[in-house]
A and B are shown apart, each in its own frame.
Chain A
């Protein structure tokens, strides 16, 4: 059933929020999104929101802003560890693949050199290290970021297309323990935001 077909006849009850299309029930809320015109306002707002104890928050920007991820309290990632392990696995795979083939499974005497002529195995060991580490970096980044992700609620905000151009966004998500709709809207409005909107799931 299309929820948009239900038109609200009576005025909104107290505590209800007016949603586009005047639906009877508020659709599930993803969060509240504030829009900013420049990175400094966004970072300042993120600092403020974080210091008030909100933790399920996220910033959106057209380019990486180091200060922003610091402001929302996101400074650690396990990616370097993943890449290190990937590189290590690559090195071991590269070397022992050659060792097993040249020493155990298919030994060939080349000019009286030892079967385990390890210096000759170094170039391929190195290449395999880099290959595995690079795959770990790319796939690790995508998996940790949960990409590809075709749908995400933030795209419901019409202006969000500008997040890849020249606008900056800060979201306080509805599942934050401190989330109170009216308080959050007031808070974001007080932070130099050019617009504050609800984001539906």
Chain B
């Protein structure tokens, strides 16, 4: 029944190595296997263990925030001239991680990369949770976070309006739009799977819960038609959106006239960096997860290879960005720009700069080798190094640019305090808390989309 023409998704022309999905799977087994993780499988001890650790770290975040709101942001190491410290770099780091989710779910959908199907749900959840962490930093950096609604244009008795010529206002709109659209995209993707869970759930509370979330979805052909159209349009909207978000984040820096910030290469280099960091995080999370939940048939070696390749490609773009930054500094002939580059390489924070080069340029070169891309442990370690590297990159951009600007009289030093680390580790805890809840209560792989890539989904007319 299955002739060669009907196997485009299992064996692409370029990949004779691994299939996108285990060829032995059927509609029934895909449905049962993924939904049983949520509905039937006993919650493992490891899950409770992981959740407990994450939740404990999440308390650290709450403690930090409470203290911060009482004392003020002097608690963080920030002060003039380094008024943006680890908090703002963490904002950029988290939001960058989020971008891989949108890339996988929207851009790869438009490019008809069918392998995205088994990782998009998980990556979108990662996006949403990462953006939630990112959003907290600028809000608490305001100093008076309870007045954050002043950022939104609403008619008020003070008779004032926000200043729309400022990139910081652009940021408010970009990040809030991104969070909203990502949440909608994620929820729309979940509707048919909620219906699957509603029909599989045995206990009444879960039937009611998933039933309400499914909103009466019944898989009607007319519904599917509009649904597919809506999904495609959302993907088309999310694609320029994700590029705009990190572009605008880079404008926060590039519009300023600080040496090391004021560079035209920032938008593309930030976007590439975001995708780089995001894929590193997807690998960091999926490698243990697929093993723990036995999802090797869904997330195959093909996915690992592809994600490794995307990481390598974006890593090279980021490397090009570093080279161009140095080149611009030299070619500008401007002594402040030249000093900025020299200071990065030889100044008080040079350790961060060289560690960044090691993590972000040297480490990913191993991904040229197919052997290393096939070795999950090596891939995991490289992803971990890249995640650290992308954190260091933002440290170099934010801190080394600020601590030495035009006037030597306003030079200074910056050291993050324990509360900076408390907030960072705390948000990691919050991120994993949300992630653990997600993999326990929602299908982490899109069930209905997995059905579409099965060989038996092919209609013969």
Contact = CB atoms under 8 A, between A and B. Distances in A.
Interface of A: 38-40, 43-44, 46-47, 58-69, 72, 74-75, 77, 79-80, 83, 87, 97-98, 101-102, 105-106, 108, 110, 113, 117, 120-121, 123-124, 126-128, 130-131, 133-135, 137-138, 140-142, 144-145, 147-152, 154-155, 160-166
Residue from B153, B177, B220, B449 with most neighbouring chain A CB atoms (10 Å): B220
Given A145-B222, A163-B219, A123 B173 contact: yes
B240 interface: yes
A74 B222 contact: yes
A162 B458 CA distance: 19
A88 to B, nearest CB: 13
B30 to A, nearest CB: 9
B433 interface: no
Contact of B233 (A61, A83, A127): A83
B71 interface: no
A62 to B, nearest CB: 6
B402 interface: no
A87 B248 CA distance: 20
A76 to B, nearest CB: 9
A117 B165 CA distance: 8
Contacts of B162: 101
Nearest to A46: B221
21 contacts: A38-B456, A58-B221, A60-B221, A64-B452, A77-B226, A80-B229, A83-B237, A87-B237, A98-B164, A108-B163, A110-B163, A113-B165, A128-B173, A130-B181, A137-B234, A138-B188, A138-B234, A140-B230, A141-B230, A154-B218, A164-B192
A123 B225 contact: no
Contacts of B459: 39-40, 43, 65, 67-68
Nearest to A134: B181
A4 B448 CA distance: 37
B461 A63 contact: no
B96 to A, nearest CB: 18
B199 A121 contact: no
B266 interface: no
Nearest to B245: A127
B244 A126 contact: yes
Q: Which 9 A-B pairs have the closest CB atoms?
A: A148-B215, A166-B27, A141-B230, A149-B216, A59-B221, A161-B199, A64-B224, A63-B451, A123-B170
B206 interface: no
